[in-house]
Amino acid sequence: MKNKKVFLVNTFFFLLIYYTLFAEVKLPKLISNGMILQRDTKVKLWGWANPNEKIKINFINKNYSTIADKDGNWFLILPKLKSGGPYEMKINGENEIIIKDILIGDVWLASGQSNMELPIKRVWIKYKDELKNYSNDSIRQFAVPQEYDFKEPRIDLRNGEWKKADKENIQNFSAVAFFFAKELFEKIKVPIGIIHASLGGSPAEAWISEDNLKKFPNHLNEAIKFRDDSLIKEIETNDRNKINSWLNQLSKSDSGFISQVKWYSDEIDLSNWKKIYQPSLYSKNEIKNHSGVIWFRKNFEVDTNNFGKAELFLGRIVDADSTWINGVLVGTTGYTWPPRIYKISEGLLKQNNTLVVRVTSNNNEGGFFPDKPFEIIINDNYKIDLKGDWYYKVSVKSEPSPSQTFIRWKPLGLFNAMISPLLNYKIRGVIWYQGESNVSRYEEYKTLFPALINDWREKFNNKNLPFLFVQLASFLEAKDYPSESWWAMLRESQLKTLSVPNTAMVVTIDIGEWNDIHPLNKKDVGIRLALAALKKSYNKKIVYSGPLYKNYKIVGNKIEISFEHIGKGLTTRNNEELKGFAICDESKNFVWADAVIKNNKVIVWNDSIQKPIAVRYAWADNPYNANLINKEGLPASPFRTDNFNK
């Protein structure tokens, strides 16, 4: 009898727990406190509950209701809403959920790879004076967790919450998306929500659904292959073991660590160390073709009147570094791209100091990138220049590091995990910054990128969804002569994507950096995207694009180029002599050309070429001297009139 009572009590509590768990109304992560809902359109709310459970919603003094289906799914369509807030929403089923601080405005999806992902804290050095006291309750970001899924489109995100652009959160906002939102807010005065879904290094095919990857069988087949969890685990384990083994071997062989006197110590004898000028890359100095570990060392003095808070700036280092001042570790970074900005604790600096940097290079290149901040700044104004002679000593020379398979970049995975859960949420449009990872496949990008745009429009059920994208910035060392360029070819593929209706392209060749794939200037990118949005989505009568090639004609020994989007007229940056054009005859050997602006057309020639057949503009990885703009200050896109190679 006693056992029977225990059984009944346990059964009762099991059923109570079961009912509680599965009867509760649940919401997707996007529908949560602080959310911004899209104005002036019907808005969908959705979630999960008990089968056939009645759901009641009260919002802005109106009541709505619906019933969950047999699987517990429910949705409800709100009528068009005017901008405003904050509001509160009550959702009732077997339980009650209250969503607070809701704004109604415009919602934009920001996506792509690292240049969209790059947070404000990575460019803080450039914008700290502008943003250190900035706070705007009407600009909010929802950061989508960076995950992948090759098996099926997910219905919800693992986590995430809406954050306001205030002192606490702003440094984690996408820099491009923030400056886009800030400019839009200042122009249209409604709340701006950013759903930020990007991942560094991701190629376009990772963001396309399975339906539309069928047009690219090689990508779809690769995605299907990675549905095997055991394969993923095997690859990740092998990669991790190989890299760890390589790094462990470096550490075990590193005289800087295994010597009795560590090389970051002040007591090191420098008699057998060599001198080298820094900053410089191994390929540009006497080291050359080195994988492994090299230690660098520099002594510097500090005026005793300038002790205080300090920061060390070492630019970018290839590939990893650990850095000490006076024997104290002040920072370490595991890969190339982040800027090395290390705080120096008060009291660490003295009159005579030692700076030591241990550099691990992965693949026959290493060192310090030139043309980056290379200094110590004390109390925001006292600077110690670190350029000049350093000591160095090779500690370990090794084989290059093992290659890795980046599964998170494989086709389909990011769409399923990071875009699919957003599809019910109404958005105004998309801003996109991506392409670097597809540079070597520039020809495929001509069809792959439009397929992505049309895919998202289909999945968001909006065939005219504005899609605004950034053309690749200038990058890599400039060349003194006209040459072929994968980066130029990819930019051309982006330019051709403008044939897709309701798209716009932002040109950024004027704000790139030869030594950084992540240029600091994200404000102008955001502002130019906002100009495109004001035209394409808000129907403002503005000039939103720089000059775009229209057509050409040959007149004697000259070629005359016509453009669209000339605005108030063609001009050059700072009224300089027009540069960046190359011309060729039937030999197809391009040479630099003279060029002038006449009647808002560009006339191009070279006295050595009597029968020209083609012109190129800004056709290079880094078209540093290209300076054609319209009078509104927007740069012209690179272009070519030939199709000699695809």
Strand partners, 630: 570
Residue 89 has pLDDT above 60, yes or no: yes
Predicted pLDDT at 14: 41
| Nearest alpha carbon to residue 485 among 374, 256, 315, 640 | 640
Residue 6 has pLDDT above 70, yes or no: no
Max Cα distance, the chain (Å): 110
H helix intervals, 91-198: 114-117, 124-131, 175-188
Domains of the chain by range and CATH? 258-397 (2.60.120.260), 548-640 (no CATH)
Residue 5 has pLDDT above 60, yes or no: no
Predicted pLDDT at 308: 85
CA–CA gap between residue 576 and residue 295 (Å, rounded):
44
- Torsions phi, psi for 636 (to 5 deg): -75, 145
Mean residue pLDDT across the chain: 95
Predicted pLDDT at 528: 98
The pLDDT confidence band at residue 645, using thresholds 50, 70 and 90, is: confident
CA–CA gap between residue 606 and residue 618 (Å, rounded):
17
Rounding to the nearest 10 degrees, give the CA dihedral for residues 146, 150, 153, 157: -20
pLDDT in tens, 226-249: 999 999 999 999 999 999 999 999
Residue 499 has pLDDT above 50, yes or no: yes
Predicted pLDDT at 646: 60
Instruction: Spell out a b/e string for 405-443, using b for 16 or more CB atoms within 10 Å of the CB, else e.
Output: eeebbbbbbbbbbbbbbbbbbbbbbbbbbbbbbbbebbe
pLDDT in tens, 384-429: 999 999 999 999 999 999 999 999 999 999 999 999 999 999 999 9
Predicted pLDDT at 107: 99
Residue 179 DSSP SS3: helix
Predicted pLDDT at 132: 94
Spatial neighbors of 620 by CB under 8 A, at least 6 apart, are: 474, 478, 479, 482, 483, 485, 487, 488
Mean pLDDT calculated for residue range 40-50: 98
CA–CA gap between residue 468 and residue 528 (Å, rounded):
10
Q: How many CB atoms are located within 10 Å of the residue 546 CB?
A: 26
In terms of Cβ atoms closer than 10 Å to its own Cβ (0-12, 13-18, 19+), residue 175 is buried
**Which DSSP symbol is given to 513?**
B
Query: What is the CA 484 to chain-centroid distance, rounded?
Result: 26
Rounding to the nearest 10 degrees, give the CA dihedral for residues 452, 453, 454, 460: 100
Can you say whether residue 518 is alpha, beta or left, with left for phi > 0 and alpha for psi between -120 and 50 degrees? Answer: beta
